Chain A
């Protein structure tokens, strides 16, 4: 449930944070102003502290295993600190700016990491990249900040697509669409059969709507325009952005009306139960799927709208960055090099439940038809985007949630919605 972290599935963990609401208003806000925060880090032994937001049981166990085997190698000692992901997200700036910060963090590549790098908070890990010669250029570019040094080490990425149950598509006698026109025809067919064609889960996880915006925008206006828009170099009330919503409106009548009220986990359940036809979602949704249903799942690429636009896909990349203030830069880099290696990445992919692709090209992913198909789709793409909040920043995400949910409710007011979106985005960029 992190509201915000499309990369991980969360349950009600964030509710724990709600307890903060019990603190006085004034003290709540300034609680994070004290620089006393942050756990104690490098003690005399030079142990490396890893702040990890991988708090789901499988991922946590996988990380613990990795750290154990690193410690067994004798190149240094590392300590894992697993934090509930919503708390982690809120506290991350505090960790990084504290006087004695943890050394290493799980987080996302792209503009999120670059923002921190521009404030000189991240350790230069170009040395680590020297040993990652066989990593694809796209990941290297993604891990490089504005000044040209690498500040991020990728662990894995995953893809988004329209997931559906093969048995249900067979039962309804429909096939995967290739183009937008096919897609709308498919929706019409499913609707005539009494099935809500497009599942969605916006209650509590409103960011899921951003996938629609991202995809329509990269299909219609292309990935470069999308990135500029999310970096504040283009305007949300631009006619090109409006064109995205004109297309979206064609699909709106086919959305499951109940999707507004429940989170994506329940939308997953609805899809598996055959109560919706298909569902645009990232592979992390499979964590919530019973294992016996996984074999029946398949997906298709977000349909092409304008063949002239170079093909782009969303492929959020997770990995690590380190604090510039680490007391043990050598040990931290050694640990990063280990985590980027084949052995560590294969172990992680095996141990964690999600369908993820290891970043290291030599590491083998889980061998399933779904993963093979996903990898092929990403390999075919000319451009990879991250996701709305990762290509912009977490602060811009709430403005998107407001605008997109309002559009889904009141598509007639699109002009006013886009004007409002632009003005709230300006406030965020201004800080």
Chain B
């Protein structure tokens, strides 16, 4: 609602009307999405909190059991494993996709011949359908597949194992395709940020004799602060809700070794039909996401102030 404040020519009556009554169109723009969200997001989310206090199979009416689900979560080894895996996922998938995306953006920011091709190539995995992505990577990891062939070619055949079926490698074997999809996306965000930096700043730094490392450290990174907030939120949310790629490649198996909170929630809900318990897991995911993002926002505001 940025009404440009006009100075002299505006009549007092008109100014009063502006401040007293919002335009119906603007109100509609706020209220309609809010109403839709309420029905489709806020209300189900609130219901989710309630279900987490019940025992419910999806058919009979939910039975209130108080904090039982949360007590059970505390002693549930599978849940603990999924929590640890989710943290590993957050650090590895989150960290590497930021580093990778930022690195690629730095390399590809200069307009040179052919740079468009590389950008497009890196961004392609983002637009692939997940079904295709899963298929491609499954072929890559299958016995005697691309991965095994590559290892044989360089004489490392003793490393060969059923990548997605070995509890020690399953999680990492899934992180790789997840990164493959994410890096291009993060790169595009950073490219946009880099484009927005005033070249004069770099010019000035160069005049002062700063080498390229110092320019990166003292000019580029501080200038990207706005984009960093966006990237961080996206990465945290994407990490915590990473589900599709894991589900399509391993289903959280073998025996829960690549289980994330999201896959555990899903299988508890729709395979074990314990919707109350699954809602409790969903609440935990929500609290985690909130904690990480709020933590960041609080810090960011403090710096602003």
Stretch in contact with the other chain, from A53-61, A70-78, A201-209: A201-209
Asked, given contacts A28-B282, A258-B143, whether A15 binds B272 with beta carbons under 8 Å apart, the answer is: no
Is B45 a contact partner of A398 (Cβ separation < 8 A)? no
Give the distance in Å from the alpha carbon of A397 to the alpha carbon of B285 in the complex.
25
Contact count band on B: 35 or more
A27 touches B164 (CB 8 A): no
Whether, in the assembled complex, A261 has its beta carbon less than 8 Å from a beta carbon of chain B, the answer is yes
Chain B interface helix/strand/loop/mixed: helix
Q: Tell me the residues in window 193-211 of chain A with beta carbons closer than 8 Å to chain B beta carbons.
A: 202-204, 206
**Contacts of B150-174 to chain A: CB distance below 8 A:** 162-167
B285 nearest CB across to chain A (Å): 5
User: How many Å from the CB of A269 to the closest CB on chain B?
Assistant: 11
CB neighbours (8 Å) of B41 from chain A are: 24, 27
Of A93-101, A123-131, A299-307, the one with at least 4 CB within 8 A of chain B: A93-101
Among candidates A21, A24, A97, A401, residue contacting B45 with C-beta atoms closer than 8 Å: A24
Most central of B72, B251, B283, B285 by chain A CB within 10 Å = B251
Is A176 engaged at the interface, CB distance under 8 Å to the other chain?
no
Q: Within A293-340, which residues are at the interface with B (CB < 8 Å)?
A: none
What chain B residues lie within 8 Å of A260 (beta carbons)?
162, 165-166, 254
* Contact between chains at B275 and A29 (CB < 8 Å): yes
Complex CA distance for A409 and B248, rounded to whole angstroms: 22
Inside 8 A of B49's CB, which chain A residues have their CB? 26
User: How many A-B residue pairs lie within 8 Å, measured between CB atoms?
Assistant: 153
**Which of B47, B59, B143 is the one whose CB lies under 8 Å from A119?**
B59
**Is the CB–CB distance between A26 and B286 below 8 Å?**
yes
- Contacts A30-B47, A406-B254; A25 near B241 (Cβ below 8 A): yes
A427 within 8 A of B: yes
Residues on A with C-beta less than 8 A from B274 are 395, 427-428, 431
Let me know if A402 is at the binding interface, CB within 8 A: yes
A256 to B45, CA, bound (A): 46
Contact present for A206 and B279 (CB under 8 Å): no
Q: Looking at the complex, which one of B134, B244, B279 makes contact with A22 (CB distance below 8 Å)? A: B244
The number of chain A residues touching the other chain, given as a range, is 35 or more
Choose from A12, A26, A202, A394 the contact partner of B283 (Cβ within 8 Å). Answer: A26
Stretch of B3-11, B116-124, B261-269 at the chain-chain interface: B261-269
Our pick among B142, B163, B253, B262 for the contact of A401 (Cβ within 8 Å) is B253
Q: Does A180 contact B (CB under 8 A)?
A: no
The residue from B40, B57, B254, B256 contacting A431, defined by CB atoms under 8 A apart: B57
Pairwise interchain contact A15-B130, C-beta atoms closer than 8 A: yes
Q: Kindly state whether residue B55 has any CB partner on chain A within 8 Å.
A: yes
Interface mask (A117-146 → B, CB under 8 Å = 1, otherwise 0): 001010000000000000000000000000
Q: How far is the CB of B280 from chain A (nearest CB, A)?
A: 10
* A290 at the binding interface (Cβ < 8 Å): no
> How far is the CB of A193 from the nearest CB of chain B, in Å?
20
B285 neighbours in A (Cβ, 8 Å): 25
Tell me whether B53 is interfacial, beta carbon within 8 Å. Answer: no
Cα–Cα distance between A202 and B250 once the two chains are bound (Å)? 11
Closest to A402 in B: B255
In the complex, A12→B163 CA distance in Å? Answer: 20
Q: Give bound CA distance, A431 to B134, whole Å.
A: 33
Give Cα distance in the complex from A405 to B130, angstroms.
Answer: 26
CB within 8 A of B247: which of A21, A30, A90, A94?
A21
B271 touches A4 (CB 8 A): yes
Q: Is A383 an interface residue (CB 8 A)?
A: no
Interface residue B48 (Cβ < 8 Å from any Cβ of A): yes
Complex CA distance for A21 and B244, rounded to whole angstroms: 6
Contact call B58/A94, Cβ cutoff below 8 A? yes
Which residues of chain B are near A406, meaning CB under 8 Å? 254-255
CA distance A239 to B159 in the complex (A): 38
Q: Mark A5-44, 1 if CB is under 8 A from B, else 0.
A: 0000000100110111110111111111110000000000
The answer to whether the Cβ of A262 comes within 8 Å of any Cβ in the partner chain is yes
Within 8 Å by CB of A26, from B60, B144, B165, B282, lies B282
Report if A64 contacts B (CB, 8 A). no
Q: Is B291 an interface residue (CB 8 A)?
A: no
Task: Report the Cα distance A266→B164, complex, angstroms.
Answer: 15
| Complex CA distance for A402 and B254, rounded to whole angstroms | 7
Q: Please determine whether B163 and A18 come into contact, CB atoms closer than 8 angstroms.
A: no
Q: Is the CB of B271 within 8 A of A397?
A: yes
Q: Which of A389-428 contact B (CB under 8 A)?
A: 394-395, 397-398, 401-403, 405-406, 409, 427-428
CB neighbours (8 Å) of A346 from chain B are none
Instruction: Point out the residues of chain A lying under 8 angstroms from B166, CB to CB.
Output: 260
Asked whether B164 lies within 8 Å of A29 as measured between CB atoms, the reply is no
A-B contacts, 12 of them at CB < 8 A, read: A3-B251, A18-B243, A18-B248, A22-B244, A25-B285, A26-B44, A26-B279, A27-B48, A260-B254, A401-B253, A402-B256, A403-B255
Task: Other than A203-B162, A206-B254, give 7 A-B pairs with Cβ distance below 8 A.
Answer: A30-B51, A93-B57, A93-B58, A203-B164, A260-B254, A395-B274, A431-B55
A residues adjacent to B (C-beta < 8 A): 3-4, 12, 15-16, 18-22, 24-34, 90, 93-94, 96-97, 119, 121, 202-204, 206, 257-258, 260-262, 266, 394-395, 397-398, 401-403, 405-406, 409, 427-428, 431
B contact set with A: CB distance below 8 Å:
40-41, 44-45, 47-49, 51, 55, 57-60, 72, 130-131, 134-135, 141-144, 162-167, 241, 243-244, 247-248, 251, 253-256, 262, 265-267, 269-275, 278-279, 282-283, 285-286
